[in-house]
Amino acid sequence: MGMKVSISGVRGIFPEDLTLEHVMDFTRAFSSMLSDRCALAMDTRISSKSIASVASAVLREYGIDVYNLGIAPTPMLVRESRASRVGAGIMVTASHNPLEWNGLKFALNGREVPADLLLKSSNSSKKSKNISRIGVEHRSSASSIYLDDLFRFLELDGYDAEGVRVAVDTAHGSSRAYILDILARLGFRAVVMDSIAVDPTGSDLAHLYTAVSNGCRLGIALDMDGDRAVVLTGKRYKPDDTLLICLAGAVEMGCRSIAVSIDTSNAVRDLARAMNCKLFYSKVGEANVVDTMLKNGCGAGGEGSSAGFIMAGFNLCRDGLLASALSLSMLDRLDEVMEYSKHYSVRRGKVDAKGINHDKIIDLLLSRHDHSESITIDGIKLVLDESTWVLVRPSNTEDVVRLSVESESIDRCNELYRLYEQMIKDGG
């Protein structure tokens, strides 16, 4: 597969594609951007502790004090990287990739730093400034601060769910203790159903469906590093539903403009129209959504395909814990919000990228199929009609071509998916 270096960090199968030498190189490159402090956190993969130890050693070698959060989710690490806190952070995780993968995410001043920017300097082993000391590692107490901040931001103190049951699957990941704490503080009764599905957006989540049909009011699934959260409200779900629910909540909190990636359900478009909210589109990728949010003054945004929700006033990254807490606070309004979702079916998948010529595919799709609009800011998105679109783009995190289709019925969605999947294979 090879190591992947992109706006989403660096990741690969450990230790074949991603090695400890890579970890040292990228940490050295990142350290050259820092002053004297850096937060460090990791997910629960078997290899994470070894990688975190190496990253900590390199940082301290370069005179940087390390504030170790231990096992903690990415949104907590990013919030610690704000200038008002530690100022920088490294997260050891491969996020939603399979368990044999691992990787690094970098954050500076409250924003994730694309790893491809570090690639140019990753061969450097020397900092430009003189190193006069060895850094010290400290244990951080950021977890309680993060949760207190979250409850204040959403004004949840005093909320009492009176024992309503919620099924939760954290994939035994880094957000487990924190989502259970959120549920307890809100008065919910957690029904823990942890699986080994590291990517909730690509899993059938049948165990959560069963729990919801057997009396749980809601199902929540998070990925390994807690930046993705999938919320199940009933028998039918798509990852976009989490973003839809959270954006509705954000608008109710006063947000008047939102930004989402182009791989996001039309349900969000319809919600924005109904709530008189401006909508902007970005390339796929958290950093791209954040850039669009900041450029247009958007208070909230996210990615439907990754069930990723971002709220600028709290965290400039996808935050699964924030999304979960906001969704839980909206229980009485979920049925109303989900009306927008029921009109659409979405299917997403991937095709092996080996031998694929992306430019050739784009030309092929443009020439062969009728469409009312084509968008080429990220791969190609063909808008076939008011309810239907197809998106073909190279992945940021895997050696695959991503294919997404949305239409008004599951039958047409599947028909179009099969058609375009074959075209990608033939066109490669």
pLDDT in tens, 215-237: 999 999 999 999 999 999 886 77
What are the extents of the domains in the chain?
4-140, 147-341, 344-427
Identity of the amino acid at 7:
I
CATH of domain 147-341: 3.40.120.10
Contact 261, 283 (CB under 8 A): yes
Using CA atoms, how far residue 251 sits from 214, 231, 239, 275, 343, in Å, is: 32, 18, 19, 8, 21
Which residues, other chains included, contact 181 with Cβ-Cβ below 8 Å and sequence gap of 6+? 147
Give the model confidence (pLDDT) of 33-45 as tens digits.
999 999 999 999 9
Give the model confidence (pLDDT) of 286-297 as tens digits.
999 999 999 999
Which of these, 82, 2, 79, 77, lies nearest to 42 by C-alpha position? 77
| pLDDT value for 165 | 98
| pLDDT value for 128 | 52
Task: Identify the H or E element spanning 24.
Answer: helix 20-31
CATH architecture of 4-140: 3-Layer(aba) Sandwich (3.40)
Domain 4-140 shares a fold with domain 147-341: yes
Give the model confidence (pLDDT) of 371-413 as tens digits.
788 888 998 999 999 999 999 988 776 778 899 999 999 999 9
Q: Label residue 428 by pLDDT band (50, 70, 90).
A: low
What is the pTM (predicted TM-score) of this model? 0.92
The fourth-level CATH superfamily of domain 344-427 is Alpha-D-phosphohexomutase, C-terminal domain (3.30.310.50)
The radius of gyration of the chain's CA atoms, rounded to the nearest angstrom, is: 21
Q: Label residue 121 by pLDDT band (50, 70, 90).
A: low
Which of these, 92, 87, 82, 89, lies nearest to 48 by C-alpha position? 92
Q: How far apart are CA 123 and CA 336, in angstroms?
A: 53
Convert 129-148 to b/e letters by CB count within 10 Å (16 or more is b): eeeeeebebeebebbeebbe
Give the model confidence (pLDDT) of 138-153 as tens digits.
998 777 799 999 999 9
**Helix (H, G, I), strand (E, B), or coil: what is residue 252?**
helix
